[in-house]
Every structure is written in structure tokens, then in C-alpha cells.
A and B are shown apart, each in its own frame.
Chain A
Amino acid sequence: MTSNLIVYLIAIPLFSSAVLLLSGRKANKWGHLLGTLASASSFGVSAYLFTQMLAQPAEDRAMTQKLFSWISVGSFNVDASLLLDQLSICFVLLITGVGTLIHIYSISYMSHDLDRRRFFAYLNLFIAAMLLLVLGDSYLNLYVGWEGVGLASYLLIGFWNEKPTYATAAKKAFVMNRVGDLGLSLAIMIAFASMGTVSFAGIKEAAPQASTTTLTAIGIMLLIAAAGKSAQFPLQAWLGDAMAGPTPVSALIHAATMVTAGVYLITRSNFIFDAAPTAQLLVVIVGAITLLFGAVIGTAKDDIKKALAASTMSQIGYMTLAAGLGPVGYAFAIMHLLTHGFFKAGMFLGAGSVMHGMNDEVNMRKYGALRKFMPITFITFGLGYLAIIGIPPFAGFYSKDMIIETALNAGGIKGILLGSAALFGAGLTAFYMTRVMILTFTGTKRWDDDAHPHESPILMWLPMAILAIGSVVSGFLFTRGDALVHWLEPVVASHGHEEHSELLPPIVVSGIALTIVLIGISIAVMMYVRRPIEDVAPENVSALTRIVRQDLLQDAANEAIFMRPGQALTKTLIAVDEKVIDGAVHGVGAMAIGSGSELRKSQTGYVRSYSALILVGAAAIVLGIWVITQ
């Protein structure tokens, strides 16, 4: 049985991770090789499974593998069971494929790091967790992977945690992700309470009978979860800081795979969102806000990785937007997710290659003219650049254009608003990505004298080249004959087929989008080619620029709304605990001591007063008896 192989997808990297973590320093010599091999074997298995699926007719492609009964209490029965269907295989191939490339890249990139073995262990752990996330057949199984990738992300962001800011970034990512997890766990609870099951299949079956209120509640909770994991508004603040991790991590986790898990969640839960229009509306709103938010932040970043991170946030906004548009959008969300996986991972690796040659400098104002020194990096990065801004025939053109089109066709004022947001975002994307290209690769050199830029070794540029090829051809492949749309149909297709009126013919939309992109490019060229670039970001800028540089005040807002009141609350409660609650306890003790010391004063130590008291007491008793007996 082919389906028996599914578990090995997860087991191989998980086992390798455990070996690497437990074997200690003696594994330093071969640890990276084992890690890469594990990821590659996992990719091999997934490729084999993919070919097996291709051989089947569309409706028989989904496979499940039940491992064992995980939690079973009363009516709450969750199996440890894996589901490989058309949707998850896309992710599995992306995760293991891009993951293996990044493992290969890391062999060289991390070669000088003392903890390279540990790094590979974490990467393997991540691969295993991410695969579990996309392969779980119930929300609870997904949850394990969901937090597993959060853990791996935490470990990898804080990989160089000697630096306190990096450790803080890791913690911030984990905590903000936990806010999302809160949504996911509540979604599971609501689902179980109302439908008595937490498996995808079970909920899909029960969803049509459930009330819209319930489904909306589940949908909103899932959206919170997706927002936390995918850095969507309002839980987006962690992604920029997450760039503290080594660059391969940023490429794999914070660009290609983990951050897209939210999109997976929404797509996987299509049966809930399709029946909960309010939740769906919120999804598109979140997507639209984030795509603009990320793009705006991206325009002011001087740190190459943070610029790319902002771009990631924005691109996932596109995916979320598409996923929120319902059955017409899911396939495009996944398509953009896959093409984005290629070009953004490629660009991050390119950024890593640049940093590698530049003494880990990340400030783009200290780059310039690197084209001559790093030709391969320039070409691969450039191909990714063309793909992300959506120049035909590169991958991003197909996927992003589809999303813009679908958004415009969503109907009514909603369609126009969403479509314009997507179009405007495309323009911004063109602007900030052009800015990155210009600052990094063209112009005059601005680096310090001790930097000696050089091209990276083959282990690094080969993965970049493969990803670049992917960013060139993948869009074309996916759209040829609507291949991906048809592939995903059994999972995400709506039950009733609905016709959408087209606001504008596709060719016109593409034309408008291209025009806007060109405008964005020209503005960037005007601003950064015509004018000299200063080494230090100019200070005399408008208030708006300053706000954008501070990430539109996202951290300030979080601090003002949550962190400082939280700290105040903690301090208050500690005082209350000491003074009031423990105070009451000690008060009882103090009362006993106090009353004792008061009563002690009656003990004067004078024999005569004692004897007088005895006398009075005796008299009182006699009198008492006399009164009673009378």
C-alpha cells in the first residue's frame, strides 16, 4: 500500500532530528549530511507518492494512513492519522523540495558556525512538524504540527540567542503565535462542542447542518490562528524581528513554508468559510490590510532581510485575500503560495549570499554595485525580483494577476475596493523591490574597506539557481490548462457552481496591473538612481516616512495596548498577593499574637492582685451558684 509510506515523510526527518540532538559533539562531522539526507529522502518519498497520485483518477487520489488512536475519551476520539490529498501534496513537495535545497545551502552557509549540527537538527525538526501540519487529518493533529513549527521557528530565530535582542525576537514570535494558537484551540473546541468531531472529513460532513453563527465563530477563530502563524494584521509584528534567525531559516520558515500555514488552514477549512460569509469577509479584509501594510513597511526598510520580510507579509496578504474570496480563489491562493515559495526563498537565499560576501552586513545602504562581484547571485535574485513584481512570463505574473482579477470580480463595491488594494499593492511591491535591487546591486559601491564581496560557493548558488528556475517557469506550468486549479478541485471546489460576472476582461486587468507596476518601478528608479544614496538613512524626512520606518507603529501599539498594561497588572497583582491575600493570612496570625500580648498585661506579677482576683472569682462563683439555686 502506498499510503503506508506517508508516515515516513514525517518519521525520517523527525528521527534524524532526534539523532542529531542526542548524539552530541561527536556527530559534528556528519550531522549536516545526515540532516540533508533526511530531508532529501523525505522529498524522495513525497515525489514517489506524487507520481502514485498522478496515476490515480482525481477522486481516488486522497490517501489516509491511520497510525494509532491518539486521544480517546468519551465521544472525543482523535486518531493519529495522516491525510495526503491534492492540497497537502502541494505543500509536502514544497516543504521537502525547498527544504532540501535550503539544507544544501546551509551546509555551506553555516559551515563556520560551531553549532551547525544543532542547526540541522532544528531544521529537520521543522520539516517534520511542518509536514505533520499539512498531513494531519484532523484539526488536533494539525495543531501538533502547528505548534511544532512554532517551536522550531522559536529555536531557529533564537539560534544565536547570545544576543539578547535575538532571544527577545524569538520569544516575541512564540508568544504572538500563541495568540493565534488560542484561536485554533477555541476553533477546535467550538467544532467539537457543536459537531462532536474534530476531523476534517467529519466537520466537512457536519458543517452544512451547523448554524451560521457556529460556523462564523469557528471561522473567526481560525482566522485568528491563521493571522498569528502567517503574520497577518493584527498579529503581524513578529515577522520583522524574526529575521534575527540565520538567513536559510528566513528563507525556509519565514518565507516559503511556515508563514504560509495560515493560508493552508483557511484553504483546508474551505467547508467552514464557504458557509460563513462574515468570516470570509473578515478574511479578505485582513488580507487586504496586510498586503498594503507589508508593502508600505517594505518601502522604508534599509535592512535587506527586513525588506524581504515585509514583502513576505504583503505577499501572504495576497494569498489570504485570495483564500477569502471563496472557491474561486483557493486555487489561486495556493498557486501564489507555491510560486512565492520559489521566488521568495530564492531571494532570501540571495540575500544570504550577499550577506555572506559582505561580513554579514544587512544594511542595503552599505551595499551597491554588487552586480559585478556576485553575478550569479545577481541573476538569481533578479529573476526572483521579476517574478515577485509580476512581469510576464515569470511566475508571479500568473499567480498575482489571477488574484487581482478574482478580487476585482468579487462583485460590487467590495470587488472594486479589494481589486484596487491588490493593484495598489502591486505598485508598491514594484517600488520597494526595485529599491532593493538598485540599492544592492547597482550604483556605486558604498561598503566599508574591510568588506571583500565575492561570489558564494556552489553549494550556495546551486539551490539559488534551482529556485530561480522555479520562479521563472512555475507560474506558466501551473496555469497551463488550469493544471493547478483542476488538481485542487476535489478538495476546494464549491458544491454549487456559481458564475461571476467579470468586471473587466482579463487582458485589461493585466494591462492595468502592468502599468501600475511600471509606475512603481519608475518612481523607484527616479528616487534611487537619479539621486545619490546616503550611507546613513536621512533624518530630515516627513513624519509619514518616520512612522513607516517604525513599521507603522506596530510595536508601539502592541506595547501601549498589551505590554505596559500587562506589566502594570502583573506588578499590581504581585502587590495584592503579598499585601492583601497573604496579608490576610498573616493578619490572622498577627491578631492571635496581638490579642495575646494585650491579655498578657493583666498578668502583673503581683501576688496580691492574683489573690484578690482569686477571691473575687470565688465570690462570683458562690454568688452565681446562689443565684441559680434560688
Chain B
Amino acid sequence: MTINWISLTALLPLIGAVLLATLPKGAELRAKQFAFGTTLITAASAIAMAVQFQRDNTNLQFVEVRSWIPSFGINYAVGIDGIALVLILMSVILAPIVILAGWNEAQGGRWSVKTFYILILVLETMMIGVFSATDVFLFYVIFEAMLVPVYFLIGGYGTGERSAAAVKFLLYSLFGGLLMLASIIAIYVMSGDQGGHTFDIAKLANLEMSSTTQNFLFLGFFIAFAIKAPLWPFHTWLPDAAQSATPGTSVLLLGVLDKVGTFGMIRYCLTLFPEASKTFTPAIIVLAIISIIYGAILAIGQKDLKRLIAFTSISHFGFITMGIFAMTSQSQSGATLYMFNHGFSTAALFIVGGWMIARRGSSTISDFGGLQRVTPVMAWCFFLAGMSSLALPGLSSFVSEFLVLVGTYTRYPVAAIIATVGIILAALYILIPVQRALHGPTTPGNENLPDLNLREKIAIAPVLAAIIALGFYPSPLLNVINPAAAHVNSQIGFTDPVPTVEGK
């Protein structure tokens, strides 16, 4: 009997959520432990799946197709390639870390602690589903349904103007989703004219379309993903959402959900509309560069720690988008690796930043100061996370950032040169908060902040270890990503530019 690994992995958190709902009220500790256990089992299942993954096989693997709404040709169809596998792994590894790190963050919410974890588990199911769906309709349904738990997580458990931020997030995303829905309906109708209604990506990729149609449909998808990613100028929901959400929610939001945008660009924009992708590439590269520089500059000027991290992410997503659309093997692999690494480095920043904020009771950077002396371990963790965010060589994000840059340079040198300026700005946007929060004399009120406890150390250790280990030895991931990324490029018909001088 074969096991449908994807469905199994995706169902585990959902089953956990249902069981969690049956727990009696007030059993908060039990709820936390149960949710944590569920995410661990899910992670184990995903890792078991990853072990069986054949990395040189560019076809979709673990494919499972079940008829869902036959009258419309809608299937429950899942399957993963290297890119999706890496993102799923990232999601399921981050989930238990988020729960463990934010052990107490559900308190003070509008609803019960139990509900918080139910939402997280439901979200995890959807995260796995969205990366593995190979039916456009299924993808769309999950894409939109994901908004619901996140809306409640921000609006119900956040801080400050959480309701406003949640509504802003929801409306922004719905707007993009509707544009995508229009494109999906159009492409579905067209598939009907060309041999049978279907939502299967593989079949849709072969549709004949006029270039005008393709351009419009491409834009429908792209804007939805650009809002999700978020790309300048569709980014303004992110700082608000990140500022209001709990750190754990922010990790899932920036680390995983936003990746759906960049993942969608690869899986849907490039695959379904190769011609339109080529047409729009120069414009998108420009937007990506603006994101890189603009996000970095705004991060430098932020006074709020959470907003600052959100803006750094906008800069990072610029790199990812640039890598995707430069369409060289280095930039494409680099972009996917970047997604993975960004998940971890942002997680580290938000988790440690969240601890700092929870201890200090404020997220304004100037309220900190001298933490290096008071809470050395926490300060070190924050520093290391920051170094990862500025892509220090030897840490994982350097590998991906450099691959994106070098890959982009071979095709779009000017873009790469401008983007490289981002590394100077990165030094500023990390070192300024590091100096204000960690260095200098201890700000009054911070003298007695407690350092990390054992639970927190256990939560952050794997993240930091992964950041360092993958910086020195990224091959395990690259070996999985490379064939898939190369496959994407070849589908569109791009080959790497050849060096002018043949060296050895």
C-alpha cells in the first residue's frame, strides 16, 4: 500500500485542530502541549517524505489526484517538486518553533488560548496544501482560505490597532485574490474551448493564447502574488500587520505566507504565461530593485522594531523576485534558497525581537539599550539573527543572496549593481537597531530584564544552528532545488548567458 505523503502531512495538523477543539475549556497548558506535539509529528512526517524525495527527478512527485467537483473538472490534485518540498519543509519546521518560542503569546487575546492553537494548526494544513496543490482551483481556494485564520490571529491576538491591521491585510489580499479569480475563470473558460474544461496546471500550461490575453491574465495572477510577496508598491499592509500581530503570527505571516506570493510567481506566472513573463520581466525587475532599496531605506528610518523587520523583509522579497525573473539557473535556485533562508532568518529576528518586546513591554527601539550587558544570550541571538538578515558570508542567507546577485548579473548587470547597494543599506538597517537596543549604557528600566530561559533557548537553537550550518554547507538544499529550478527555466525556454571568456 502506498502512503499519500502529502495528504497525510497536510491532514495531521487538521486532525490535531479538531481534537484540540474537543479539549475542555481552560486546559491551556494541555492545549499548548498538544499543538506542539502535533506540529512535531507533522514535521516528522514531512521529513519522512523529504527523505524519499528523488532529487534528480524533475517531475512532480508524490502525486495524488482525486475527483472533487467533477462537473467543473475540479480535482483534489497535489504533488511537489524540489521548490515546493523546500518550502513545505520550511513551514513545518517553523511551526513547532513558533509555538515553542511564543509559548505565552496567546494570552491576552480576544479569544481563548485553545482557539489560537486551533487557528495555527488549521493554518499549517493550508500552508502545506498551498505549496503542493497542482490544481489551480484548489490552489485558489486554499490561497483565499488562508486569510481567515491569519485574519483572526492578527485581529484576535495582536497588539495595538490589531483590528485595523487585520482588516487592511484582509482587504488587500482579497483584492489581489479577486484579480486572480478573474484570471482563473478566464483561463478555465479558455481551456473549455481547447479540449475540455480543466484546472490542471500541466494542461493549462499548454493553452494557446493571444499575447494580449496572456498579458492580462498574467497581470491578474502577478498582482495577487505581488501583494502577497509583497512587492513595492503593494507593500503597505505588511508593516501594519507585522506591527500588530504577535511575533509567532508574524513569523508565519512573513516567513511562510508571503512565500506563497513568490512561490506563486514561479509556479503560476512563469509556467502558465511564459510569453507574458518575458514581456513584463523588465518592469518587474525594476519593481524588485525599488523594493530592495526602498525597503532597506525605510527600514533604516523605522523607530518600531517590528516595523523595521517588516521593511527588511520587503527588501529581501525584492531580491527573491529579482532572482525569479532574472531566470538564470543561479538566480532561480538562489531565489528558492532565499525563500527558505529568509524564513529562518526572519523567524529568528521576530522570535528574539518578540522576546525583547515582551520583556520590555514596548516595541520602540529607543526603549531598549544596553541589553548586551543585561541579557547577553538574548542579545547574542538577536545579533546573530541580524547578521543573517544582512547576509554575512558564512551564514545561510549569504549563499542565497549572492546566488541571486551573481545570477542576475549575468543577464541584467545594471539591476544587479543597483541591488548590490542593498548590502550596504542592510548593514545600516541591522547595525542601527543593534547599536540602539544592545549597545550603549543600560536604559533605565531595563536593568532587571531576565535572560532567555531554557524553553526559549531550545526554541531558538535549531534556527540559529540551521542558519550557520546551511551557510557553510548548503548543498543538501541546493541539490534538491537545482533540478526543479533548472526545470522551471527550461520550461520558459531560458538558458544561462555564456561567459565571454571560456575559463576553466
Residues of A within 8 A of B (CB): 21, 68-76, 80, 140, 143-144, 146-148, 151, 158, 161-164, 167-168, 170-171, 174-175, 178-179, 181-182, 185-186, 188-190, 192-197, 201-203, 205-206, 209-211, 214, 569-571, 573-574, 577, 581-582, 585, 589
Contacts and interface: CB of A to CB of B under 8 A. Distances in A.
A162 B297 contact: no
A581 B236 CA distance: 7
Interface in B429-447: 431-432, 434-435, 438-442
A204 B475 CA distance: 27
A205 B439 contact: no
Interface of B: 168, 171-172, 233, 235-237, 294, 297-298, 300-302, 328-330, 333-334, 370, 372-373, 380, 387, 392-394, 398-399, 402-403, 405-407, 409-410, 413, 416-417, 420-421, 423-424, 426-428, 431-432, 434-435, 438-442, 472-475, 478, 482, 485-486, 496-504
Q: Is the interface of B mostly helix, strand, loop or mixed?
A: helix
Which residue, B233, B370, B406, B475, has most C-beta atoms of chain A within 10 A?
A: B406
B424 A168 contact: no
Contacts of A170: 435, 439
Given A189-B413, A570-B300, A574-B301, 12 more contacts: A74-B333, A162-B440, A162-B442, A171-B431, A171-B432, A171-B434, A182-B424, A193-B409, A196-B499, A209-B502, A573-B298, A577-B236
Given A175-B424, A175-B427, A175-B428, A570 B298 contact: yes
Contacts of B501: 194-196, 206, 209-210, 214
Nearest to B387: A151
Contacts of B168: 585
5 contacts: A70-B474, A75-B496, A175-B427, A193-B409, A574-B301
Nearest to B175: A588
Contact of A205 (B392, B428, B440, B504): B504
B458 to A, nearest CB: 15
Nearest to B294: A573
B393 A143 contact: yes
A94 B346 CA distance: 39
Contacts of A186: 417, 420
A206 B502 contact: yes
A203 to B, nearest CB: 7
B420 A182 contact: yes
Given A151-B392, A197-B504, A211-B500, A182 B423 contact: yes
A73 B503 contact: no
Given A73-B482, A74-B329, A147-B392, A570 B499 contact: no
B504 A206 contact: yes
A68 B504 CA distance: 19
A178 B417 CA distance: 14
Which residue, A151, A174, A570, A573, has most C-beta atoms of chain B within 10 A?
A: A570
B330 A76 contact: yes
Which residue, A158, A209, A585, has most C-beta atoms of chain B within 10 A?
A: A585
B411 to A, nearest CB: 9
A192 B408 CA distance: 11
A167 B500 CA distance: 45
B341 to A, nearest CB: 13
Contact of A189 (B235, B301, B333, B409): B409
Given A76-B406, A186-B420, A164 B441 contact: yes
Given A73-B329, A178-B423, A185-B423, A193 B473 contact: no
Given A161-B372, A161-B439, A182-B424, A196 B393 contact: no
Given A71-B399, A189-B405, A574-B298, A206 B503 contact: yes
Contacts of B333: 73-74
A196 B427 contact: no
Nearest to A197: B503
A71 B329 CA distance: 13
A186 B438 CA distance: 32
